[in-house]
């Protein structure tokens, strides 16, 4: 079986983003970019399934500008076998939406015929939390979102997924092929070692355009403006618990 993993290049999670003065978006020039943390977890899970003998090949895919190749190289250095890069230059006013990404990934999935697709549960830039669900819907495959544990039964072609839901942990069982999206607690992603980074340079990255995959990437969303969130007014440092209780009772009136 083959596993397809979708990865996204985003502003590094530790960067404090700044809104551009013209309010068209956030500043991404000269900002550190990395693989979306949830995508790293997705790559790691695919590699573990391959190492456990449940899968034969791990293919990483991304949709994005030329620089997104770096993100694919990271996935390859972690251990993915090869990669697919669908080139797309973003327009800040008409960003590529999860629906378009899901349509491109469906085209890639129809070509590669994986038994399982793993994605992160959300990208930490747009915070949409949509792509995996949409891909599953388009393919008419079952979905296991927010996965914190994945068990694959190769013989029965079934997947048991523990999901992080509001009230606790929910367990569901899915027929393969299926789509899963990763939650933070699924695993601890490995670091790429130097020899593996070197090896990754010779691994194959196939390049496509959305047109070559015959995917229409029309956008039905327009970004009107991006603003800073309202600042909170400066707080005060108190010297005692009594003072705190007094403020909460008499000033803030919340106790």
Partner 1 sequence: MGAMVAGALRRGSGYGGGGGGFRCSSRLLAQSLRRFASTLVVAEHDGGFVKPSSLSALAAAEAIAKGNKISVLLGGFGPALHKAADHAASSHPLVSEVLVADSETLAHPLAEPWAELLHSVQQKGGYSHVIASSTSFGKNLLPRAAALLDVSPVTDVTAIKEPRVFVRPIYAGNALCTVKYTGEDPCMLSIRSTSFSPATEAMSETKVAPITQVDLSFLSEGTIGKSTWVNLTSQDTERPDLANARVVVTGGRGLKSAENFKLLEQLAEKLGAAVGATRAAVDAGYVPNDLQVGQTGKIVAPELYMAFGVSGAIQHLAGMRDSKVIVAVNKDADAPIFQVADYGVVADLFEVLDELLKKIPDKK
Q: Which of 57, 70, 112, 126 binds partner 1 (CB under 8 A)?
A: 126
Instruction: Between 194 and 234, name the residue whose CB sits nearer to partner 1.
Output: 234
Does residue 31 touch partner 1 according to CB under 8 A?
no
CA 93 distance to own-chain centroid: 21
Instruction: Give the end-to-end CA distance of the chain in Å, rounded to a whole number.
Output: 58
Residue 136 C-beta: closest distance to partner 1, Å:
6
Spell out, one character per residue from 11 to 30, where the chain touches partner 1: x when CB under 8 A holds, - when not. x-xx-xx-x------x----
Residue 82 C-beta: closest distance to partner 1, Å:
27
Does residue 32 touch partner 1 according to CB under 8 A?
no
Does residue 220 touch partner 1 according to CB under 8 A?
yes
Under 8 Å between Cβ of 47 and 79:
yes
Residue 40 C-beta: closest distance to partner 1, Å:
14
Paired sense of beta strands 205-208 and 82-87, if any:
parallel
Q: Which of 149, 154, 185, 199 binds partner 1 (CB under 8 A)?
A: 185
Q: Which of 148, 190, 197, 203 binds partner 1 (CB under 8 A)?
A: 148
- Quick one: residue 83, left, alpha or beta (phi over 0 = left, psi -120 to 50 = alpha)? beta
- Angstrom distance (rounded) from CA 142 to CA 5: 16
Stretch of residues binding partner 1 (CB under 8 A), selected from 51-59, 78-86, 193-201, 228-236: 228-236
Residues 44-63 that bind partner 1 (CB under 8 A): none
Does residue 223 touch partner 1 according to CB under 8 A?
yes
Instruction: Between 72 and 123, name the residue whose CB sits nearer to partner 1.
Output: 123
Q: Which of 89, 194, 235, 250 binds partner 1 (CB under 8 A)?
A: 235
Does residue 33 touch partner 1 according to CB under 8 A?
no
Pick from 100, 97, 112: nearest CA to 210: 100
Residue 147 C-beta: closest distance to partner 1, Å:
12
Residues 106-125 that bind partner 1 (CB under 8 A): 121-122, 124-125
Which string of DSSP letters, residue by residue, matches 155-190? TTTEEEEEEEETTEEEEEEEESSEEEEE-GGG--PP
177 preceded by cis ω (within 30°)?
yes
Count of CB atoms within 10 A of residue 170's CB? 14
Count of CB atoms within 10 A of residue 150's CB? 23
């Amino acid at each position: 079986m083959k596993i397809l993993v979708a990865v996204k290049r985003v502003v590094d999670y530790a960067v404090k983003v700044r809104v551009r003065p013209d309010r068209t978006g956030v500043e991404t020039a000269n900002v550190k970019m990395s693989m979306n943390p949830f995508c790293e977890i997705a790559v790691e899970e695919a590699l573990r399934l391959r190492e456990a003998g449940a899968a034969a090949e791990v293919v990483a895919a991304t949709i994005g500008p030329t620089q997104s190749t770096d993100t694919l190289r990271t996935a390859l250095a972690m251990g993915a076998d090869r990669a697919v890069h669908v080139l797309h230059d973003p327009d800040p006013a008409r960003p590529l939406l999860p629906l378009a990404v899901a349509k491109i990934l469906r085209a890639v999935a129809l070509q590669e015929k994986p038994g399982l697709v793993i994605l992160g549960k959300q990208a930490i830039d747009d915070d949409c939390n949509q792509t995996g669900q949409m891909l599953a819907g388009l393919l008419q495959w079952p979905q296991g979102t927010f996965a914190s544990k994945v068990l694959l039964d190769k013989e029965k072609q079934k997947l048991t997924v523990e999901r992080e839901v509001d009230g606790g942990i929910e367990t569901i069982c899915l027929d393969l092929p299926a789509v899963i999206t990763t939650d933070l607690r699924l695993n601890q992603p490995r670091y790429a070692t130097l020899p593996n980074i070197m090896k990754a340079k010779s691994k194959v990255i196939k390049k496509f355009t959305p047109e070559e995959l015959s995917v229409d990437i029309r956008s039905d969303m327009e970004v009107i403006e991006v603003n800073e969130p309202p600042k909170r007014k400066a707080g005060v440092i108190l010297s005692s618990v009594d003072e705190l209780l007094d403020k909460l009772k008499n000033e803030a009136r919340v106790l």
